[in-house]
Structure 1
Amino acid sequence: MSHKIGITACSNPMHPSFSADLARLCQILRELGFDPVLSPCLFDNGSGFSGTGAERADALMNLYCDPEITDIFDVSGGDMANEVLPYLDFSVIAASGKRFWGYSDLTTIVNAVTTATGNESMLYQVRNLLYDHSAEQITLFQNAFPGSLPASSTSLAHFCRAITWKV
């Protein structure tokens, strides 16, 4: 059974050279039973941004509003995540029950979502599935989502502890 997950970039845009890695990441996720839904705000649109703060927030909110998406993973990082905060509808986010996963300056969104909604958010970069120790990361990721989503808090806590020791 495939589970839809959102892939977005609320912070710095991905460089066009990330296209091949994104395709590989999506393939890995599909092999793990996920159906990635890509945000329109992933890549640099030529301005040094993947959209305005409002546009990136709108793309994120669209993922929250899709009832089939269970989790949202941000593949970015950098120094622009705070630009989306004024445009987020935390009542919609709370009602969705979805987890937000991000790393680096996405901590601003991770903390805001958890604080404002009570929804779980995870400090994790899903791109880890591509790089050093990818086989181990893939196994840990797969074990964090046994059976069907959402995974239990126990398996996610184990996953988060297991991945942080290598960082």
Structure 2
Amino acid sequence: MYIRSLLLKILFGLSFAFLIPNGLWAQNTPIREEQRLTIKPARLHPGDKIGLVAPAWLVTESDLQLSIERIKQLGFQPVYSDKIRGKHGYFSGTDKERADDFNNMIKNPEVKAIIFVSGGYGCTRILDRIDYEAIKRNPKIIMGFSDCTALINAIHQQTGLITFHGPISRTIHQGYNRQQFENLLVNPTDKYVIKSTDDDLRKSANDKTSDRYTITPGKAQGKLAGGNLTLICSMIGTPYQIDLKDKIVMIEDIGEEPYRIDRMLTQLIASGELSKAAGIAFGICKGCDKSAKSSTPNSFTLRQVIEERIKQLNIPAVYGLSFGHNINNFTFPIGSDAELNADKQTITLIKKPVQ
């Protein structure tokens, strides 16, 4: 009887699995790196059409017009729909409207890249509405940061497509940002070394969050993952939890007091995920070193928190690279093989992230 019961359970389980549509199965099962192939999008060429979308916060008309102008300055044609002007509370439309607008841009063969107009909050609400199968069929450059950390990491994990953490449309034109964007997505090379700008080091005299220092020396190789710390933590325990195993984990945030950074890093460590990382690279956590003015008595500095939490992992780690909520924000590819040199404080992309 026991053997018969066991066989029935196995057969029922197999039947149930086959009845579940592939997309729905993918949306409820975290996919690890070794379970998918890496897809590279095509590089950009002058005159290509770039889709503008707002998958989270609502967009003002002035921000939209500025975004259009910036994309034109780069030599590309901006494309957008009326949905980008939508308003639904603090979102740029309902969850369905925002997801539909993004999915339509994916399916548009004339659009060669998608760049987000804003961050804010809202991407995590539409992850289960994204057409991941359409992305596999129509791979293209997808780029943003901040709240868009959720979307670009989920897309890579569900599809294998290399996505990009980088400036949003209205900040992409600035000298350093533009140079890094073009070096990766327009004129890419193998063995490309991403170096932070010295401008951020000069700022450190007045803002210690712009310091650049080695937390734990050494080199590490792995695929890049991560982005905004708040979003990385908010995805823990969901089907879209970021797989940090053997990754170089990129971390940044804005406006969080040291104790909040402490709390989030502690959560990542307690989850068991961060200790599996190959290396850790912090960007500039703008406005997070509030210890001098903090309402929290006897606050640690941001550096004290980061070093105390991260050094115990004994993983090559560095703080202060030029990415995040910062004037200087380099582009890096989620899912691309790279080497972190914590001593030299650089990241080297081993191969071109685009075709």
- Structure 2 counterpart of 1:35, from 62, 77, 81: 77
Q: Is contact 1:64–1:93 with CA below 8 Å preserved after alignment?
A: yes
Partner amino acid for 1:49?
F
Partner of 2:100: 58
Q: Does 1:81 align with 2:123?
A: yes
Matches within 5 A, 1:117-156: 117-126=159-168, 127-129=170-172, 134-146=174-186, 152=188, 154=190
Give the superposition deviation at 1:27: 2.1
Counting aligned pairs with the same residue, the percent is 28
**Bigger relative contact order (CA 8 A; separation at least 6):** 1
Alignment coverage as a number of residue pairs: 155
> d(CA) in 1 for partners of 2:78 and 2:55?
16
Q: Which runs of 5+ in 2 are unaligned?
A: 1-45, 198-282, 284-320, 327-355
Q: Which runs of 5+ in 1 are unaligned?
A: none
* 3-state DSSP of counterpart to 1:85: helix
Partner of 1:12: 57
Partner amino acid for 1:11?
A
| CA offset digits 1:126-165 (Å, max 9, x no partner) | 23236xxx2332233333343xxxx64749x656x65863
| CA offset digits 1:13-56 (Å, max 9, x no partner) | 12x2xx23432332232232211112433345263322111110
- After superposition, the CA RMSD in angstroms is 2.5
Q: Is contact 2:49–2:78 with CA below 8 Å preserved after alignment?
A: yes
Q: 1:97 to 1:82 in 2, by over 3 A?
A: same
> d(CA) in 1 for partners of 2:82 and 2:157?
27
Larger Rg: 2
Partner of 2:65: 23
> d(CA) in 1 for partners of 2:150 and 2:189?
22
Q: 1:125 to 1:43 in 2, by over 3 A?
A: farther
Give the superposition deviation at 1:72: 0.7
- Structure 2 counterpart of 1:103, from 134, 145, 148: 145
Q: 1:25 to 1:114 in 2, by over 3 A?
A: same
> d(CA) in 2 for partners of 1:85 and 1:152?
30
| CA offset digits 1:64-83 (Å, max 9, x no partner) | 01001111111221221111
Q: Normalised by the size of structure 2, how large is the TM-score? A: 0.39
Q: 1:52 to 1:142 in 2, by over 3 A?
A: same
Q: Is contact 1:7–1:37 with CA below 8 Å preserved after alignment?
A: yes
